A and B are shown apart, each in its own frame.
Chain A
């Protein structure tokens, strides 16, 4: 997917591999921290001993049965949300187009809440419902970008998204009034958390995530060309309509999977591409590559913080991502000049 850098560009292009390696290294550290701290009454030292294969049985159990699944789910969630945000922002050419802010996650969340109320319990069903909800959310976003004055104004699009999110949250609250048992389950799930999620959800989302990665590999090059304008992309032999459809579908797969895994997390799809773009420059292909380590590192990092900040109790992951994301959103909006994609 990446073209080798030609000699003339070496001077100009931002160094790409050092930040990629640094992000990968950071991700490893976060994974280690996730296995060592929180979730289960085992100290970092005991957990380390367990990892070195000479710890207690209890430590081994906590690390492999509690912390490891949680770590993997956080990693996959971060990967999906980071990529989805980068794709949606590139396609709509709007640096604020984040699935969580635009109501895609809320659509997905509402769909799952409805499914829980109706008694859905299997992971496969939840995932499918979450993806359908995300697809509906995506369709609304695309429709909104076609409305005159909305599509080319990043902030107004986010306002429209906030309206949609508010509406969907209200509808979800209404559902919660209908059934006490379902309400507890929905409430736990809607704040966003990767704690205590069964690995069966991960297996259920894995096919979608794999498919999404394949679609990204196919669509990345034409998507990059679409940044030059619709006609220029056609001139280079691409089919913008088809690519938009593919990307929309991919975003729905990714956001739906992430929502099924961790609930509707907002701001992750904003923060991750924002960090990635700072190092990758304007080419969406490089941005996507950087999102691969950055996304998981951000979500897992936030999850580690969520375990430590109020230990022994846990702060929901959704609260932490919102606390990290809100200042970033404000910074982008207040920068006065929105970066054009």
Chain B
């Protein structure tokens, strides 16, 4: 599956707030097309709120999010859903819902009011379960799967939306190492097929390893942005998390590795 169309997503001077409390002010961000962008930062820095703002889930106090140059909040939600898929963090599934049931939901943005399941829907469905490698699990209920399998099923739903953009909110939180790798490699594979991806990642090491582009946030502002190899430094880690560390390069992949992480004396 390769995508012929691409879309651009950018935030221009956006301000995000939870009621009175300003979470992020005057942020601007452009997702590099065809790349994986990781948004990192300490707890409460506003990274999830930023992602939700980009995905039109969180209302903007000020500024605008532009999808292909158009204000995302003025576009019909269904039209947005054909260009931008979202994997939220707090998703739920009713008991007994199967992987196939879930992935089929991904076709809703493409279906008319009374439209039946079409040939294109079936094609997208088949491609999605293959891409996410859940074909063998299609008949299983989500509540019987492992965390990694379940997360791949959710990603398959987002893939079935056939969108050029994919946003994921902490896709690997609560997963053990093996399942994290499973999900990150899937995300890399999807990027290889041309999707523009942005994800909030808790773990800086994974972000270094799997992202092309890194956005480092603290207290609601973007303090550094660029390729992980270029921006990750002991100073950045100090500023983000308040810990000291040394930096080496992964002999296998060349990506930055944090070692000897310690509290400041």
Q: Which residues of A contact B (CB under 8 A)?
A: 1, 3-4, 6, 8-9, 11-13, 93, 217-218, 221, 224-225, 227-229, 231-232, 234-239, 281-283, 339-341
Contact = CB atoms under 8 A, between A and B. Distances in A.
In the A-B complex, the 6 residue pairs with the smallest Cβ-Cβ separation, listed nearest first, are: A12-B139, A237-B81, A235-B86, A231-B88, A237-B78, A282-B94
15 contacts: A3-B121, A6-B122, A9-B104, A11-B139, A93-B94, A228-B102, A234-B56, A235-B55, A235-B81, A235-B158, A237-B79, A281-B97, A282-B96, A282-B97, A341-B94
Q: Which of A8, A229, A339 has the largest count of B CB atoms less than 10 A from its CB?
A: A8
Given A228-B102, A237-B79, 13 more contacts: A6-B100, A6-B117, A12-B140, A217-B114, A225-B105, A227-B94, A228-B105, A229-B92, A235-B85, A236-B105, A236-B161, A282-B95, A341-B95
B94 A236 contact: no
A218 B113 CA distance: 7
Given A228-B93, A229-B90, A282-B95, A237 B139 contact: no
B95 A231 contact: no
Nearest to B106: A236
B264 interface: no
Given A12-B139, A13-B101, A239-B77, A225 B108 contact: yes
B129 interface: yes
Contacts of B135: 8
Given A8-B138, A225-B105, A281 B125 contact: no
Nearest to A8: B138
B92 A231 contact: no
Given A4-B117, A231-B90, A237 B108 contact: yes
Contacts of B139: 8-9, 11-13
Contacts, number: 113
Given A9-B138, A12-B100, A12-B138, A232 B91 contact: yes
B116 A3 contact: yes
B171 to A, nearest CB: 13
Contacts of A238: 77, 108
A231 B52 contact: yes
Contacts of A341: 94-95
B109 interface: yes
A281 B139 CA distance: 13
A339 to B, nearest CB: 5
B108 A236 contact: yes
A26 to B, nearest CB: 24
B94 to A, nearest CB: 4
A238 B111 CA distance: 12
B90 A236 contact: no
B108 A227 contact: no
Contacts of A4: 116-117
Contact of B104 (A3, A227, A340): A3
A136 B118 CA distance: 42
Given A12-B138, A236-B81, A6 B104 contact: yes
Contacts of A3: 104, 116-117, 121
A238 B79 CA distance: 10
A93 B113 CA distance: 24
B96 A8 contact: no
A229 B78 contact: no
Contact of A229 (B91, B114, B121): B91
A332 B88 CA distance: 31
Contact of A235 (B88, B93, B125): B88
A341 B143 CA distance: 12
B223 interface: no
Nearest to A337: B95
B77 to A, nearest CB: 5
Interface in B45-81: 52, 55-57, 76-81
A227 B138 CA distance: 19
B98 interface: yes
Contact of B109 (A224, A236, A282, A340): A236
Nearest to B101: A283
Contacts of A227: 92-94, 97
A237 B101 contact: no
Contacts of A235: 55, 57, 81, 85-88, 158
A13 B98 contact: yes
Contacts of B86: 231-232, 234-235
Q: Which of B55, B79, B80, B98 has the largest count of A CB atoms less than 10 A from its CB?
A: B98
A11 B100 CA distance: 11
Q: Which of A93, A228, A236, A339 has the largest count of B CB atoms less than 10 A from its CB?
A: A236
B102 to A, nearest CB: 7
A333 B56 CA distance: 39
Interface string B156-183: 0010010000000000000000000000
A232 B95 contact: no
Contacts of A93: 94
Contact of A9 (B88, B100, B114, B116): B100
